[in-house]
């Protein structure tokens, strides 16, 4: 049956309509079921995530969501808008619902005069809307070469973040960790989102480097097939605890039986220099990891500029 989009309405759902949207998104994105279940049961906000849903009368057809975030770019904090939860009910696919919603969402983004970013398995769908794929390449280190030890520091490996740990991590991230291009500006609400997502997804772990019960740095890791993915390493760039954290990462890789650590970090991150200083030879990450394509859309009328070299943190997927 043909769908007349001109007779449909786009609005931000609330109340029962919002709960219905969450249930639709659970069906479309099964991997995110824990998140939407949590939001239904607790009423938690999803940071700056704002959904826009398309309705034909009372029937929900699809949705797109916008999530403005701040990132560091060229030494200053700028706003970008993340595009997320682009979804269409199965019975209404291939009728132009998603494209109609995307045009609406991008109109709002353009009114904010902000670049848009997204992660997708279907990059060709978004190229016609002005998005450009930005290749994300990472170096990798062989675990046997990472044998420089942990410098006598203590390590705590956690799979759940309480408020105390979260506050210590937030302080290190804001005050000690350099403002590389692509570093997300994490305010208090963002850290609440970070905590919720970390606790709900079972794959990731946090390594806390401590000395005399004081947290000096942290790393975020997860097993990804035949490798250990290092998606965050936060400490003072010139500090010995940064080297210790890399030693703890290598220990974790040995414990789970993988021989490679992928440094999914900013190209300028101090971890690469630290490893090379200890004689570790970095190599391009071998093929085999399946990850979504990162895409950017610059402000209207502007070239991509530094956006086309932007690395998006895998710890900040949306």
DSSP secondary structure string for all residues of 105-132: HHHHHHHTT--EEEEES-HHHHHTTT-E
- Burial (CB < 10 A; 0-12, 13-18, 19+), residue 303, is exposed
Residue 118 CA to chain centroid, in angstroms?
10
203 and 31 Cβ atoms separated by less than 8 Å? no
75 dihedral zone (left: phi>0; alpha: psi -120 to 50; beta): left
What are the b/e assignments for 101-136, b being 16+ CB within 10 Å? bbeebbebbbeeebbbbbbbeebeebeebebeebeb
Predicted local distance difference test score (pLDDT) of residue 296? 98
Which residues, 6 or more positions from 146, have their beta carbon under 8 angstroms from its beta carbon?
246, 247, 249, 250, 253, 261, 275, 278, 280
Integer Cα distance of 106 and 125 in angstroms:
14
Structure tokens at 150: 């942990």
Strands 116-120 and 76-88: parallel
Secondary structure letter of residue 236 according to DSSP: -
- Burial (CB < 10 A; 0-12, 13-18, 19+), residue 231, is buried
pLDDT tens, per residue, the chain with 318 residues: 678 999 999 999 999 999 999 999 999 999 999 999 999 999 888 888 999 999 999 999 999 999 999 999 999 999 999 999 999 999 999 999 999 999 999 999 999 999 999 999 999 999 999 999 999 999 999 999 999 889 999 999 999 999 999 999 999 999 999 999 999 999 999 999 999 999 998 889 999 999 998 999 999 999 999 999 999 999 998 889 999 999 999 999 999 999 999 999 999 999 999 999 999 999 999 999 999 999 999 998 899 999 999 999 999 998
Residues 14, 15, 20, 23, Cα dihedral to 10°: 100
Secondary structure letter of residue 292 according to DSSP: P
Structure tokens at 238: 């010139």
Domains of the chain: 5-136+291-316 (3.40.630.30), 139-284 (3.40.630.30)
Predicted local distance difference test score (pLDDT) of residue 2? 74
pTM of the model: 0.93
69 and 80 Cβ atoms separated by less than 8 Å? yes
**Dihedral sign computed on CA atoms, order 142, 207, 272, 309:** positive
Integer Cα distance of 225 and 187 in angstroms:
32
User: Which of 292, 290, 224, 235 lies closest to 262 in space, CA to CA?
Assistant: 224
23 dihedral zone (left: phi>0; alpha: psi -120 to 50; beta): alpha
Strand ordering across the sheet containing 139-142? 154-158, 204-211, 214-224, 227-234, 260-263, 139-142, 282-284
């Amino acid at each position: 049956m043909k769908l007349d989009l001109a007779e449909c309405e786009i609005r931000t759902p609330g109340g029962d309509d919002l709960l219905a949207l969450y249930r639709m998104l659970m069906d479309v994105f099964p991997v995110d079921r824990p998140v939407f279940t949590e939001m239904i049961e607790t009423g938690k906000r999803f940071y700056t995530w704002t959904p826009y849903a398309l309705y034909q009368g009372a029937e929900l057809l699809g949705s797109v969501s916008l999530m403005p975030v701040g990132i560091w770019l060229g030494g200053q904090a700028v706003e970008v808008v993340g595009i997320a939860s682009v979804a269409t009910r199965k019975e209404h696919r291939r009728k132009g619902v998603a494209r109609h919603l995307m045009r609406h969402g991008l109109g709002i983004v353009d009114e904010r005069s902000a670049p848009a970013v997204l992660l997708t398995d279907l990059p060709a769908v978004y190229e016609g809307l002005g998005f450009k794929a930005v290749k994300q390449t990472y170096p990798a280190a062989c675990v046997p070469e990472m044998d420089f030890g942990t410098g006598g520091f203590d390590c705590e490996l956690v799979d759940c973040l309480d408020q105390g740990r979260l506050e210590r991590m937030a302080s290190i991230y804001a005050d000690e960790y350099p403002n590389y291009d692509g570093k997300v500006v994490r305010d208090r609400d963002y850290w609440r989102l970070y905590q919720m997502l970390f606790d709900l997804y079972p794959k990731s772990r946090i390594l806390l480097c401590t000395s005399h019960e004081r947290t000096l740095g942290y790393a975020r890791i997860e097993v990804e097939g035949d490798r250990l993915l290092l998606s965050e390493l936060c400490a003072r760039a010139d500090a010995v605890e940064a080297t210790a954290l890399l030693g703890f990462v290598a220990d974790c890789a040995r414990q789970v039986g993988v021989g490679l650590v992928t440094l999914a970090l900013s190209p300028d991150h101090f971890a690469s220099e630290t490893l090379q200083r200890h004689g570790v030879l970095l190599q391009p990450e071998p093929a085999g990891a399946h990850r979504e394509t990162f895409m950017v859309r610059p402000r209207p009328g502007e070239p991509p500029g530094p956006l086309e070299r932007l690395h998006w943190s895998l710890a900040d997927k949306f």
